[in-house]
Every structure is written in C-alpha cells, then in structure tokens.
Amino acid sequence: MQTFRMILIAFVVAGSTLLASAQAPVINHNTWTSGAPLPTARMGAAAGAIGADIYVIDGWNNSSILGVNEIYNPKKNTWTTGASDPNPRAWPAYAVVNKILYVFGGSNGAEFLDLTESYDPATDTWTTLAPAPYAQYGATAVADKDVIYLMGGATFSGAFLTNVASYNTTTNTWTDESPLLVGRDFFAAGLLGTTVVAADGQNSSGVLGDNEGYSAKANAWTELNADPTPRVAACWAAIKGDLYVAGGTNGTLLNLTESYNAKTKSWTTLAPMPTGIWFAAASATAGGKLYCFGGGQYEVSVNNNVQIYQP
C-alpha cells in the first residue's frame, strides 16, 4: 500500500508539472513580432504604458500635426480611442509616473513649445502644468520615482541643447540640473539602476554615438562607452537593466537593434527590426517588451506598423 501511495503521489506531481508547463506561455527571446496596425499612421508621437494599455498620442503624418489619442491593448491586440490632446504637437518628450502620462515641449508646426501637460487615463482628461524652463523639440525624458528629467533637444533657431531640468510631479515644479556633456536632440535614454543613461542623437557635428550617465545623487554626468553604431531618432526603452535601441538613421535608415548594459558597460547587437524606421513612438510594458509604434521612412512614407521586441 505504501508503495502504491508513493507511485500515486509521484504521478500527481509529474502530472501537475506537465500541466503547468503546458499552460506556461512560450517566450521566444530576442525576437520581433507585429501587433495590430496603428489606426492613425504617424511619426514623432508620445507613448506610455499604463496598466494593461499603451497610449499613443500626438505626432505628425507628413502633412498635419496630430492630437489623436489611440490606445493599444497588448493582450487583446486591439485599439480604442481616448481624449485627444487639446494642444496637438509632434516630437515631444514623454514619460509615465504613477499611471499618468506627462508630455513636454515638441512642435505645433508654428513654434517649439515649453508646454507641459499630463493625461490621466482613469478620468480620460488632460491637465496643463507648469511650463518647462525652455522651449524645445527632440528632447528626451526619463522618470525616476516621482521626478522626470527633461534632457537636451533643439531650439527653434537650431541650437542643440545641453539643458537638463527635473520636474517634480508631486509639487509641479522645475529645477535646473547639471547639463549634458554633449548637446543633442532625438537621442535614446533610460534609467538603468540609479543611473540615467543617454546615448546617440545628433547635433551640428552630425549623428552621434556618444553615451553618458547621470547620477541624481551627485548631480553629475560621466562619459560611458559609446554606441558602436551612432544613430538618431531610434525607438528605445530601458528594460530590466538594459537600454534597448532599435532603428533610427545614421544617413541610412536602420533596422539594427542593440542593447547597452550598465553593469558590463558594453553594447550587444540583437535581432534586427522587421522594418527599419525612424521617429517611432516607443514604450516598454511591465511585461518587459519594447513596442515601436509607427515612424517613418524619411520623407517618403509614414508607417502604421506596430513592431514588438521580446528581449
């Protein structure tokens, strides 16, 4: 009887293990897939993952500045719509804090903006906040807890900025911080541990591979290992300790995907994007995937592709 009982237990345990294995989703690492197309093709939009959805807002469609707000559900692979941005713009900086999407600056087609707004999906409403210390487009924003760092960008006159300003989302106030080592616009950036990493972009010298890291504690930037493939206007996001950078251009439109790891201080070449693009709206979900929405192929076309990378 004891032997039979042990065999029965072993059978149940083995069966449970097989069932769990059968139910667990298969993850194909270092691969790209496609999602349902973006309803409104555009480049230079803002994007942010909040809860189960990703919000893709604003942008440019080769003829008009857009305020459209389209909402993607990765699990259902479907799109819905939310309240449009009351101040349409393209090429803003953006970041998510406490389930709120913040949008900074950009261009409305007539001027570069210092406008700061927030979108709350829970109420489907927009709020105008304290303006940024400087007007720009092509800046990048990175969130660290309740603070968002607005970095770089370009002015309407064509100057490339080293400016860094921190926005406190709880007090609605701005503080000037230590400037970038290299002024630039349209660069990739993300929080890796406690370090804000800023890589690539462009300035009057051309397309850059420069890479630098910011310590909020020291309020200082240090030079890091440069991207071996300089580029501008890529799709990017920080995911689990790596900064992923896909697409962009260096004079040739790229489908190259790379990652930078802060611990090893090294770059790795990964599986290429299905379609090379620049100025895609980028977001990473809590599940750890990089989403690239739309983008363009120089002045020829604006895409509605949704390209999804699984690290």
- In the chain (311 residues long), the average pLDDT of successive 10-residue segments reads 41 41 74 98 97 97 96 97 98 98 98 98 98 97 98 97 98 98 98 97 98 97 98 97 97 97 96 97 91 88 96 96
- Considering the domain boundaries, does residue 32 fall inside one? yes
Domain span at residue 67 reads 28-310
- Considering the domain boundaries, does residue 189 fall inside one? yes
Which of 193, 182, 191, 181 lies closest to 221, judged by CA? Answer: 181
- Considering the domain boundaries, does residue 110 fall inside one? yes
- Kindly list the distances between the CA atom of residue 207 and the CA atoms of 182, 185, 188, 210, 284, in Å, as whole numbers in the listed order: 12, 10, 13, 9, 25
Say what the pLDDT of residue 48 is: 97
Which residues lie across from 167 on neighbouring strands? 148, 174
Say what the pLDDT of residue 298 is: 74
Say what the pLDDT of residue 27 is: 86
Tokens of 285: 């979900």
- Considering the domain boundaries, does residue 140 fall inside one? yes
- Considering the domain boundaries, does residue 12 fall inside one? no
Say what the pLDDT of residue 297 is: 85
- Considering the domain boundaries, does residue 250 fall inside one? yes
- Considering the domain boundaries, does residue 86 fall inside one? yes
Domains identified in the chain, total number: 1
- Considering the domain boundaries, does residue 23 fall inside one? no
CATH for 116: 2.120.10.80
Say what the pLDDT of residue 178 is: 98
pTM of the full structure: 0.92
Say what the pLDDT of residue 10 is: 40
Residue count (the chain):
311
Q: In what order do the strands lie in the sheet with 173-177?
A: 140-144, 147-151, 164-168, 173-177
